[in-house]
Amino acid sequence: MPAAPRTPSATAPQTVLERIYGRVLVRDPGEPEFHQAVHEVLDSLGPAVAARPELAGSGLLERIVEPERQIVFRVPWTDDSGAVHVNRGFRVEFNSALGPYKGGLRFHPTVNLGIVKFLGFEQIFKNALTGLGIGGGKGGSDFDPRGRSDAEVMRFCQSFMTELQRHIGADTDVPAGDIGVGGREIGFLFGQYRRISNRWEAGVLTGKGQPWGGSACRTEATGYGNVLFTAEMLRKRGEDLDGQTVTVSGSGNVAIYSIEKAQQLGANVITVSDSGGYVVDEKGIDLDLLKQVKEVERGRVSDYAERRGASARFVRGGSVWDVPADIALPSATQNELDAQAARVLVRNGVKAVSEGANMPATPEAVHVLQEAGVAFGPGKAANAGGVAVSALEMRQNAGREMWTFPQAEAELSGIMTRIHNTCDETAERYGAPGNYVIGANIAGFERVAEAMLAQGLI
């Protein structure tokens, strides 16, 4: 436990932090998401650096914003007609001070190096908060799996892994899924790794199918974890989720399992969305129908509305955050909730907002929510459940074990409670009670920084 912080004289630390951020802007032009992620962390660290000046020594801040390794490669593949396509693959191995690099792979047309760096930087602190000994990394490709046949996705994944396999391993770098990378893609990637390496190295990828090394509760973990974190924020304020109205954005894995856990805890979840618009279902989302449309048929939320009947209406375009609710769970993608949307949420009486996706709220939106006294759960804390269960999958793989769903869910619940308490206590210790952003950033930073200092200049 670090010593209690001294009263900060913020000028000197703030100057250092501003200099580091300015250096990032110059060295990494054209990467706005990465700039945003770095600024959000550095902006929180003034009190910690003032209280513990050693955390700014040995070039630590300069090193922590610079990836240890950035890998970019071409991915050639053929479609079902025999035409050749060339995509670009990425893996950013950002920081391994606490353990092997750990973070997902995202397949989406918007993926570029800046996006992967932003995600990898966030992952450093998210993984540190779990307390499970994993470093931060991220990867992906600008390949779009939507509309592609299983055979086309398999050929792409095999080509992607043919290069990626040189850089990963159970004790080096352990990728998982993210947007566009689910069980199908993980299966194809693992098969190609096994084919090339001639090893059954189950711990090289997480998010695997349960019969061949996956963990129970991994599919559900990010969404479940976000709702559990939300429940802890509400409990701190003397409330719970029972009877609360909840809006959720997105309709992928995180959104679906956020809905499932919120419903289990007695909430009424009334929205889902995708790039075409959003659905409002006043009776509450029919989870079985949503899973059929999204997970089996790979359809659109408009299909859900059409089949649900009179209780559901589809709104083309617009903002899902216009729908009044007690709790909002942004679970789609980065920067989906801006200041204007945050002001609408506040006017409509929202009590808590918790990030299921990575950085879905803009800095301006976060400011609006915090100024209004809304409980705000930042993604690096609130959506850490996915990577936490990934680390538990690694533990099971190392011991050739397979846990039951109740075992894995109980571990997840304990981890999310500890993350909440760590963020809450750290914010209190540094004079910002109730500010989970400051608590998460400082707590994650302290753990990584102490390990980096102990291991020397590398």
Residues 169-186 have pLDDT tens digits of: 999 999 999 999 999 999
| CA distance to 132, 317, 428, 433, per residue, from 396 (Å) | 13, 43, 35, 37
> Residue 13: its pLDDT value, please?
72
Read off the tokens for 374. Answer: 């809304």
- Say what percent of the chain tops pLDDT 90: 95
Q: Which helix (H) or strand (E) holds 69?
A: strand 69-78
Overall average pLDDT of the 284-302 stretch: 95
Cα 207 to its chain centre, rounded Å, is 14
Within the chain, all domains assigned CATH 3.40.50.720 are found at 224-382
Overall average pLDDT of the 276-299 stretch: 96
- Domain at 69-200: CATH architecture: 3-Layer(aba) Sandwich (3.40)
Q: What's the pLDDT tens digit per position in 377-428?
A: 999 999 999 999 999 999 999 999 999 999 999 999 999 999 999 999 999 9
CA gyration radius, the chain: 21
Note the pTM of the prediction, 2 decimals.
0.93
Overall average pLDDT of the 287-308 stretch: 95
pLDDT band for 11, please (50, 70, 90 cuts).
Answer: low
Overall average pLDDT of the 118-133 stretch: 97
Alpha helices in 198-239 (DSSP H): 221-236
CATH top-level class for 224-382? Answer: alpha beta
The SS3 assignment for 108 reads coil
Comparing C-alpha atoms, which of 452, 457, 379 is closest to residue 419?
Answer: 379
Q: Which of 5-9, 155-159, 272-276, 395-399 has the lowest mean pLDDT?
A: 5-9
Mean pLDDT of the chain: 95
Within the chain, all domains assigned CATH 3.40.50.10860 are found at 69-200
Q: Which helix (H) or strand (E) holds 143?
A: none
> Residue 226: its pLDDT value, please?
98
More confident residue, 439 or 57: 439
Alpha helices in 59-182 (DSSP H): 60-64, 113-130, 150-164
pLDDT band for 15, please (50, 70, 90 cuts).
Answer: confident
pLDDT band for 215, please (50, 70, 90 cuts).
Answer: very high
Comparing C-alpha atoms, which of 309, 304, 331 is closest to residue 320?
Answer: 331
Angle at 97 between CA 96 and CA 103, to 5 degrees: 35
Active site residues: 138
